[in-house]
Structure 1
Amino acid sequence: MLDALPLNANGKVDRKALPAPEFSSDRAYEAPEGEVEQALAAIWAEVLQVEKVGRHDNYFELGGDSILSLKVTARAARAGVPLNPRQVFEHQSLSRIARAVQGGQPSETQAIPVLTAAQRAGTLALSHAQMRQWFLWQFDPQSTAYHISGALKLAGPLDVSAVRASFDALVQRHESLRTVFRTDAQGLAEQVIREAAPLDIAVVDLSALRNEREREARSNEEASRLSHTPFDLAEGPLLRVGLIRLAPEEHMLVVVMHHIVSDGWSMQVVVDEFVAQYGAHMQGATAALPPLPIQYADYAAWQRDWLEAGERDRQLAYWKQHLGTGQPVLQLPTDRARNADGRYTAVRHGFELPNDLVRKLHKRLQAQGATLFMGLLAGFQVLLNRYTGEPDVRVGVPIANRHRAETENVIGFFVNTQVLRNVLDGRESLSQVLARAKDAALGAQAHQDLPFEQLVEALQPERVPGANPLFQVLFNHQRGDAAALQGIPGLTLTECDLGAQAAQFELTLETTEDADGRVRVSLRYAAELFEPRSMERMADH
């Protein structure tokens, strides 16, 4: 308990000065018993960042959620404990989860094999997700819709040579950052891993500009140029880094990757490892990063073999049952007519959920054994139902697809997109809607490996010009992880918004659950379709 809340200069609570929340259980502590309970308790303590875990502690009461459950299951597999997310959600307490694991069928998880040097030097097939990106790029090589961009403001004395060395180390460590994509003699796409070479990092110096507004405008223009310059997938590199000097001790670092070699999780890996590499370089040391068990090319080859050996059919059967035979198109009412080609510019309307509402949500959701993601998904589906009148609401949801321990720290295109369906009836309670959203989320987690591209191919939905197949609206829930931003002594790191980008969908709901309990919400929408006031009204609802 704090004696007093820290306040900023305006007399408001200074959230940055608050200590990280400490989760604890109200139950009397009872030590874990047996190897499985002890192994799981150690994993929970590490992932949930709590001091100790008792055998009757509840996963959700300690701060767990669906996103962190992926880390828990991956580390459990590494420890030889065959745990899956459904067991976490259904049993919740440590002892009950351990009993479920011990009572289940033992399953031996085979490690992803590493390709030999000869295989690496030969033709390397693309993963299924990469194949779709390759097709989209060939169809429109100037598109920037699948650029993954991020920017950091760096305040304090910056060693530019250390920045260069840090990214060179990243490129050396991760093959995907030096991979290009070409067509072979048979017309098939292949990936080619290049030898590591120094990354060209352009430094743009705006510090001579005296006018702060002009300097800010020019820096935004330069960041936008870095983010919106198309990549050449055949020539590379598919990582672009720029450094903008605003003042002698103020810089903006812009990082852009093409989705074919990266995803949102990968961007966090880039930030974490950049901070580790930079800090070590400044001390004249080498970053103490554990060796990577695999590279992305190993995963791509393994994934193809594994799916073709029967896993594809097993998971496809589930998705066919979940989605049914009809594939309705969700038509949001727009302020302007849709473009035939479906190309739009994405802008955002952001806001924050009131803290009291978030607390009440957590309490209500925990009572039903659901997570904040499940509750927000159910609420969003109800909102879409009210806006469109469509009872059969399908929402696209990206899933990290990192439930195998080997993939946790690898940069690459692992993320998969799933379609979560909810059939709504205006006469039922929100609890019933939530229960179906929870079941859909758990089922999706248990069948997360079927590539979205293969699902589309199997279901063959009627193609509507300018509309995404199977779903038209996306929901992305993330946990904010700012720990790395505090990791460089002498430098203050803050995230920057890069502004308008090409839109992948007409509407995307993004929610971020921060370590201090705040929930930030962003509606990314097609500026050519919706007026800002329409999004403000939707946010109010």
Structure 2
Amino acid sequence: MVNVLEAQEAFHYRFDRDGAMQWVDPDARFELESLDWSTLEVAERDRRLDALVEQQASTPFDLENGPVLRVHLIMLEPDLFVFMIYCHHLVFDGYSSQIVMRKIADVYRALHEGTDCESAATTPYSVYVYRALHAGAEPQLTQSLEYWRHVLGDNLPAPLDIPTDRPRGRIRSYRGATAHRVLDPGLSSALRATAKALKTSMHGLLLGSFAALLSRLSGEEDMVLGIPVAGQARNNLDVVGYCVELLPIRSQPAAGKPFSTFVHEIQRHLLDALDHQGVSLSTIVRALGVPRDASRLPLIEVIFNYSSYFSDLQLPGCEVSTRENPRRAVYFDMFFNIIESDGRLVIDWDYNRDLFDPETIARWTDHFGELLSGIVSADGQAIGDLPLVAAGSEASASTMWGRT
């Protein structure tokens, strides 16, 4: 495992105090901290694991001196282990985690089978940066920028006004938390069947569902949501590093619009956005002249992400499951992750603790589950008619709309 990590250029990066420069430390080394808790009672080992996760989530990285990642291997039982990676987002993203785990799986498989293993190294992050800076002909970039002006420039919607538990401060804060929920396997299977019946992707179906939820919570019918895409895939490079590109997706989930119509709109917007992802979000923001506000991010404050990075992760002789680590610092108001793994759909909802209470996010997650159930059980329903609470349940105004 350590050899795989040390082979990645991005994990050798160091940054100066003001963030203006970064460099490679060729002498950087990584320690895998091994812990044996196999003799502990189950309750005690679970308590220690929760405490370690919390401690790692709350401990900042030393970006000047390193390391920029921390790794633990914990034995819970002789045949049950937890492998935990915490890494700074400056040098790591979701797609990178897939690459690293695939490399570790390759090494494990070679050791298990007694065969030679391919190099653990990947394309250096510096190669990705160079290609990104020199990618695309000028006419193509101009055409893509015109696309974004056309989609977003006319009557740009106001910032999404989701009901908060506390007033927004004059300056943005970053105190965060993560809500975790596993959707019922039957619902996950029904959603895949619904996506197939609607001739759309799971990404489009779930993004449309989340936009419908936000519209029902806020009363807004025109909004811009962000979706992250992997720059590695666009550049066809096997790179570990921060390569995320954010695309603004304009969504108009009017209450009277049939959900099936809306999800086809979303799918079309997704495909068009992917065709024009060569323009950075900062370039789009400048071109549109989006007003700046110290209390808010320009254009995008809510992110939706759908991934299936670890759905095919296999280690010979092992059963493998994965889980995102919780966040204690967040950049956006909300970052809604829905992950497909082992045939399940898992929600990891990162949110700003200074705006939202855990109880509010838990309630909205319940609403999302009911809305999904309504989507798979009734064809042709308007967005405004989709359920947010279980049939027979009573919901007060505060339950439905939160507090401001």
Corresponding residue for residue 23 of structure 2:
192
Change (3 A) 1:350 1:512: same
1:215 shift after superposition: 2.7
Does structure 2 conserve the Cα–Cα contact (< 8 Å) formed by 1:168 and 1:197?
A: no
> Contact 1:226/1:242 (CA < 8 Å) preserved in 2?
no
- Structure 1 residue 475 and structure 2 residue 304: aligned? yes
The superposition leaves residues 444-481 of structure 1 with CA deviations (integer Å, 9 ceiling, x where unpaired) of: 11012222233233333222333222122111111152
Q: Quick one: structure 1 residues 529 and 237, their matched pair in 2 at CA, closer, same or farther if it must change by over 3 Å?
A: same
% same residue: 26
Q: Distance in 2 between matches of 1:250 and 1:362?
A: 31
Q: Does 1:167 align with 2:2?
A: yes
Tell me the TM-score normalized by structure 1. Answer: 0.60
Q: Tell me the alpha carbon deviations over residues 300-323 of structure 1, each in whole angstroms, 9 at most, x when there is no partner.
A: 112112258454433222112111
3-state secondary structure, aligned to 1:333: coil
| TM-fit CA distance, 1:324 | 1.5
Q: Please name the residue that 1:535 is paired with.
A: 361
CA offsets, 1:384-406, max 9 Å, x none? Answer: 12221222111111112333464
1:415-454 to 2 correspondence within 5 Å? 415-454=244-283
CA distance change for structure 1 residues 417 and 252 in 2, over 3 Å: closer, same or farther?
Answer: same
Tell me what 1:513 maps to: 340
- Equivalents in 1 of 2:34, 2:302: separation in Å? 38
Aligned to 1:341: 172
Question: Which whole-Å deviations, capped at 9, do the CAs of 1:355-414 have from their partners, x for residues lacking one?
Answer: 25743x44554354321211222222222122212221111111123334641x321222
* Cα separation, partners in 2 of 1:497 and 1:182, compared to 1, 3 Å: closer
Is 1:264 paired with 2:94? Answer: yes
**In the TM superposition, what whole-angstrom CA distance separates every residue of 1:108-143 from its partner, at most 9, and x where no partner exists?**
xxxxxxxxxxxxxxxxxxxxxxxxxxxxxxxxxxxx
Q: Which residue of 2 aligns with 1:378?
A: 208
CA RMSD of aligned residues (A): 3.0
Matched, 1:395 2:225: yes
Q: 2:15 aligns with which of 169, 181, 191?
A: 181
Report the secondary structure of 2:84's partner residue: strand
Give runs of aligned pairs for residues 230-379 of structure 1, distance below 5 A.
Answer: 230-247=60-77, 250-281=80-111, 285-288=115-118, 292=122, 294-306=123-135, 309-325=138-154, 326-339=156-169, 340-353=171-184, 355=186, 358-359=189-190, 361-379=191-209
Give the match's secondary structure for 1:329.
coil
Residues 327 and 461, structure 1, Cα contact 8 Å, conserved in 2 = no
Deviation readout 1:309-354 (Å, 9 max, x if unpaired): 4544332221121111535111111223334432222130414156
- Secondary structure of 1:525's match? strand
In the TM superposition, residue 263 of structure 1 has moved relative to its aligned partner by: 0.8
Matched to 1:179, the amino acid is Y
**Counterpart of 1:402 in 2: which secondary structure?**
helix
Q: Distance in 2 between matches of 1:347 and 1:372?
A: 23
Structure 1 residues 519 and 494, CA, compared in 2 at 3 Å: closer, same or farther?
A: closer
Name the CA distance, whole Å, in 2 between partners of 1:280 and 1:357. 34
CA distance in 1, matches of 2:312, 2:27: 29
Kept after mapping to 2: 8 A contact 1:345/1:501: yes
Q: Does the 8 Å contact 2:188/2:345 carry over to 1? A: no
Matches of 1:258 and 1:532, distance apart in 2: 24
Give per-residue Cα distances to partners, 1:166-220, cap 9 Å, x unaligned: 3224322x2222222348xxx9834322326542223344456x44323322232
> 1:138-153 to 2 correspondence within 5 Å?
none
Matched position secondary structure for 2:133: helix
Instruction: Determine helix, strand or coil for the equivalent of 1:378.
Output: helix
Residue identity opposite 1:434 in structure 2: V
Question: Residues of 2 paired with 1:196 and 1:317: CA distance?
Answer: 46
Aligned to 2:321: 494
Deviations 1:492-540 (A, max 9, x none): 4433554453233333322223453x33334333344334443343233
CA 1:180 to 1:307, structure 2 compared with 1: closer, same or farther past 3 Å?
Answer: farther
TM-score, structure 2 normalization: 0.79
Q: Per the alignment, in what secondary structure is the counterpart of residue 288 of structure 1?
A: coil
2:350 aligns with 524
Q: Is the 8 A contact 1:401 1:449 kept in 2?
A: no
Larger radius of gyration: 1
C-alpha spacing 1:492/1:382, structure 2 compared with 1 (3 Å): closer
Cα distance, 1:266 vs structure 2: 0.5
Q: For 2:51 and 2:274, locate their aligned partners in 1 and report how far apart those are by CA, in whole Å.
A: 40
1:217 match: 47
Equivalent residue for 2:32? 201
SS of aligned partner of 1:413: coil
Residues of 1 paired with 2:94 and 2:249: CA distance?
Answer: 20
